Amino acid sequence: MDALTLLLTRRSMSHLTTPAPEGQSLDNILAAGMRAPDHGALRPWHFVVIQNEGLYKFGQLLEKAAINANLGKGVEEKAKKAPLRAPLIIAVIAKIVVDAKIPAWEQVVTAGCCVHAMQMAAVAQGFDGIWRTGSWTTDPVVRSGLACQEHDKIVGFLYLGTPKFNLPIKGTAQDIKDFVTYY
Ligand SMILES: Cc1cc2nc3c(=O)[nH]c(=O)nc-3n(C[C@H](O)[C@H](O)[C@H](O)COP(=O)(O)O)c2cc1C
């Protein structure tokens, strides 16, 4: 798939199964994240690759967070199983450099670009995925479990794997004129 087709037809896929990207495919995905636009060359990101036993470990962390926040048995169970929705998750953390000239919001945007680039690199190699966040991104137990520092922001959990079925490709946006002015 050429780059323009990829960008014009991109869509997410939440129904994911094995195989997960691994080896060179996974390295390509991580390398694509590392090429995100980055004002000041701060590299204000960190990627946590969650796979194999790590998915169960991460489920236990989410369960612990749900217990700590008194969210109830239902949420605890759901939290524990949430990471098993894909064979690979990449947690993307914006490592905010507080004393930099580059404002924090720009650093968060850069980390967001990492997520997008990695998702597209996965699709380009025949995989698929979905960017998720939810309340876990600000939860203290989850933040601590992922070794976040005070100013870090978890910008996403990128769920990746092989699509369980083919989704129709989204057409090119037809309503461009509603979102664009030409100055
Ligand atoms: C910052 C961010 C956080 C998101 N969090 C979630 C989420 O927690 N759960 C979810 O189902 N979709 C979430 N989404 C949306 C999906 O990634 C996806 O874009 C959406 O389902 C629309 O599908 P599409 O990408 O095929 O257009 C998030 C998107 C962004 C950019």
Which CATH number is 22's domain given?
3.40.109.10
* C-beta 131 within 6 A of ligand 1: yes
Give the nearest ligand 1 atom to 14 CA.
11
Q: What is the position in ligand 1's atom list of the atom closest to the CA of 170?
A: 26
In a domain, 171, yes or no: no
Residue 168 counted as domain residue: no
CA of 130 to the centre of ligand 1 (A): 6
Task: For residue 176, tell me if it sits in a domain.
Answer: no
In a domain, 93, yes or no: yes
Phi, psi of 132 (to 5 degrees): -125, 155
Looking at the domain assignment, is residue 172 inside a domain? no
Task: Tell me which amino acid residue 174 is.
Answer: Q
How far does residue 136's CA lie from ligand 1's centre (Å)? 15
Does 57 map to a domain?
yes
pLDDT digits (tens, 9 = 90+) for 60-73: 999 999 999 999 99
Ligand 1 proximity of 156 Cβ (cutoff 6 Å): yes
Does residue 167 carry a pLDDT above 90? no
Q: What is the pLDDT of residues 149-161, one digit of tens each?
A: 999 999 999 999 9
Residue 28 lies in a domain: yes
Of 48-62, 108-122, 131-145, 162-176, minimum mean pLDDT range: 162-176
Distance 183 CA to ligand 1 centre (A): 30
Predicted confidence (pLDDT) at residue 173 exceeds the cutoff of 90: no
11 is in an annotated binding site: yes
Length of the chain: 183
pTM of the model: 0.97
CA of 101 to the centre of ligand 1 (A): 30
CB-ligand 1 contact for 12 (6 Å cutoff) = yes
**Which residues, 6+ apart, have CB-to-CB distance to 77 below 8 Å?**
63
Structural domains in the chain (count) = 1
Domain that holds residue 51: 14-162
39 marked among binding-site residues:
yes
Distance CA 37, CA 14 (A): 26
Sort 173 into a burial class: Cβ within 10 Å, 0-12 / 13-18 / 19+: exposed
Mean pLDDT to the nearest integer, 122-131: 97
Domain-located, residue 4: no
